[in-house]
Structure 1
């Protein structure tokens, strides 16, 4: 029942007005799918790049290792060591040169060479053997021979790469590093050559151009990206076709019909005109179920809306009556200030503040003097005038604080915030006001208001509840009353 009331209230208030979509569902789905594919392309491309790069480097390292193993197997270490020491090319040296030249011809590598890096006072690269192709030997000789030293072709940082590789290599494993020099950007594999005396006299190296590696990586990555994009495009096309047929198009129809119904219902006072024209949707899914549910809801609304409006009116009437009852229950009938019941509720709230350690308040206790005399001499009507007039004066002084009538002639003022900050000024004003009015002979006896008063401020060190503060204010008020009686004789 509450559901129908809410729907009808929304329609009657004109709240269900569905504006043109600022973000059409089709566009949102397309953007979402495209974003997903782009992110997928980025992630898969990154994974492909790093995976393939690692794999390719491993493949090239295996290839370079095989070449170094193969070449070293044809090196007579002692003969080559002697050639380095004497600077004379032996027969085996020349055979090794021809063999390494053949390796250059048969394998796709950039350089194959044996060197010794020098990093002393005059850094340079000591050449032992530099392989070359048959064409290079004949037409473009590099000019390097056994014992030649290149000072200009290698930077000091590059020489340190070779030197560190030779010093750290144990002659069994292969050290790999990237080398950017005047010869190009290469990936180098190196193994130290150690003679029978344990001396590292040379470094056997093979180079593969990094550009070739990057080219292979780029081609493979690009091919994978194109494949992902192609598959993603096909996926988006198929997905959008499917989702448009089963969701977006039916939802668009449903939205249009609901908007039309909302326009009819807006400010509509005749329930018989609340007719919902359901769209033709046969998706066999939740969208169709939603269409059926809306259609049933519109029928139910049309059938019961009159009763619901009546019920809403009754509820509002009951709320009004409850408000009036609350006013009667918590307001003093004579003075219209808050009564004892309200004071008791406030006491609970203040006691909770005390328990939470955030209480800050004071209490002014007031008791009307001479009320019995007014009643006895001038009647209860003037006695009531006396009570109302005195209460009015208190309310004017403490206009920011609640005033409670807790007994026939007893009033309590709860001081908080601004009135608490100005407590002394207000209390003196209270004294002066009632002292003046009580002595004004121009007024009728029931207009000469007199009160006994006492004020106490909450002290967390001695007060455990609001009632403790009330009792201290009451004691001060009682002392004031006694002093007043004694002064009058």
Structure 2
């Protein structure tokens, strides 16, 4: 076109709309694909890290650190080592994990991996044994870069936290969580490790994302072809209004998960020609995109629901089977939270430590069944008195109560009631012998001037409980 002596090149309307719509669909496809992929992947890894942390905490709570250290040093299996093998094999049976093992990486002139313990299922032990035994050394099973991952984790891990890394090995693509095991001499003598296989799940996510991208592209091609068929006229104002609505929808669709906001506001077009058809097509397209987002969000909700169910299953690992109160593993988890509050200067709590008396007498004279009745009944009395506080069974006959908030404010009255309840129960001859509950108890209050962590308060409560037990023995004499 010639205009005032200048040649102005105009783009054909069909081509402009084709290019614009193509870019719109590509952008929308990219945004929705990234949101879907990142959401699934992020949820997956968070779920795995929480699950691996729970498993490692639970397993470590059953490890005798010094006994296992001695086994590694001597290469001789102890009775506790055999029990630990059975326990970790049980974890392999009960939880959907790839590997559960204890190793020590060796990085010298001839890098290798020292095996300490490799858990297996009953089927694996019987039909497919891995051949690893205490202090066996693997020179070829681990690549040098893989060994370095374990070695770096051993050097950096302080035994209280968990190090996570992706491990590409001959056994597959795993997400690994490791924690250093440290003996009383401060020596890091092994790594407690758990692996979860993620390659298949990631492959499923990639496949799902690819299918959705293809569907969106096909839908885009169909709509664009429809536009080109029906665009026969040179139209200005209706197209301008239509363009504005589409751009607003595209901008609103970026990272948008709220379906109430993901709405296409159609312009008021009644041209009775291809522009009106184009407007109707865009409306249908927006509905399809809205439906796609709805399915993606519904799928994400299902993933979160599955994560919640997995978390509920994992919480079973924190409950004591006999008394149904929390166990030592959960106590360690609570201790992390309290220690963090101590560091922040927000801590206010007390600890009550109890040790049941006469349990051995009950077991010897009336059997372990009534011994269990004695433990359960005594624990019930503690739970009734400290109804608003968590009770932990940390040993066969040892219990801990954490007092916070209202229970902390009433700590002295509650402790007096605890002593009175057990004194009356132990002297009540109308009860069965296994119902005459007796316990030594000690209570210590957190002091910010002297206590740097929850263990400091626990130790003072334990000492007070010990003195109470000694005094009760002297009184019986």
Under TM normalisation by the shorter chain, which class is it? 0.3 to 0.5
Q: For the pair shown, which has the larger CA radius of gyration, 1 or 2?
A: 1
With the length of structure 1 as denominator, give the TM-score of the two structures.
Answer: 0.43
With the length of structure 2 as denominator, give the TM-score of the two structures.
Answer: 0.44
